[in-house]
Amino acid sequence: MRIGVAATAPFGADVLEGLAGGHDVAFLLTRPDAPQGRGRKVAAPAAKRAAERLGITVHQAEAPELPGPVERVVVCAYGLYIPARLLAETLWLNVHPSLLPRWRGAAPIERAILAGDDETGVTIHQTIERLDAGPIAAQEAFALTDLDAGTAYARAAEIAVRLLGAVLEAPSFEPQPEDGATYAEKVQAADRQLDLDDPLDAWRRVRALSPHIGARAELHGRPVTVWQGRLENGSYVPEIVQPDGRRRMTYDEFLRGLR
């Protein structure tokens, strides 16, 4: 079975790499190169870089088009609207890192951690015009416990590849319920601000935004990004921080620099 993959973000790149190990991936659809990072230099999406390493043909456009016939297209962290005329050409299967219908939308793992969810998961569902609302072919949960977003996305990618291997050839769908639907909005600047007077929220917020975004705080009068920390005796203790304009460092190194 020849399949296409539509992916852009690192989570999509991980799923692409996993699929390429056991499936005939005909092409990757991904978004155009764009400014990234603090320096805003134009760079290729993570999925494109993975496809080039794997020797998979890459198609980049502002709007998706199918470059050739395939029996399935796997969509994972793609970020572009897929029009109905393309959905009618073949079966599109979306990989979504949540237990749908909870956390439809752009930042499902981040929102699950911020909300204090005990678990999240992966859902494979048919792509339809409504966002993350298609009938479900497979779903599997995993515990969040003290995972940060990066570790959770990596675990979700592993599960997604396994689930896809079981359903790609002959998926059987169950309608997705609307009861319990919530939406995972994109992470905004306000979501990054730590309230160190609320230790539990701070612990969740840093985990939700690590290692890809980072939470913001002022420590000892210095603006910093907090990448890692722990709860201790009812307080939040930073462990890895990054003062503005400097490298990441341990909190102890940061304190020694102040002295």
Q: What does the pLDDT look like over 133-159, one tens digit per residue?
A: 999 999 999 999 999 999 999 999 999
> How high is the pLDDT of residue 48?
98
pLDDT of 40: 81
Q: Where are the domain boundaries for CATH 3.10.25.10 in the chain?
A: 189-258
- Determine the Cα–Cα distance for residues 241 and 228; give it in Å rounded to an integer: 7
Task: Report the candidate in 11, 155, 153, 150 with the shortest Cα–Cα distance to residue 76.
Answer: 11
pLDDT for residue 112: 98
Contacts of 84 (CB under 8 A, 6+ apart): 129
Q: What's residue 102's pLDDT?
A: 98
Low-confidence ranges of the chain (pLDDT < 50): none
**Cβ count near 198 (within 10 Å):** 12
CATH architecture of the domain 189-258 equals Roll (3.10)
Instruction: Report the residue count for the chain.
Output: 259
Q: Quick one: pLDDT at residue 63?
A: 92
According to CATH, where is 3.40.50.170 located in the chain?
2-184
**How far, in Å, CA of 237 to CA of 9, rounded?**
31
The pTM score is: 0.95
CATH class of 2-184: alpha beta
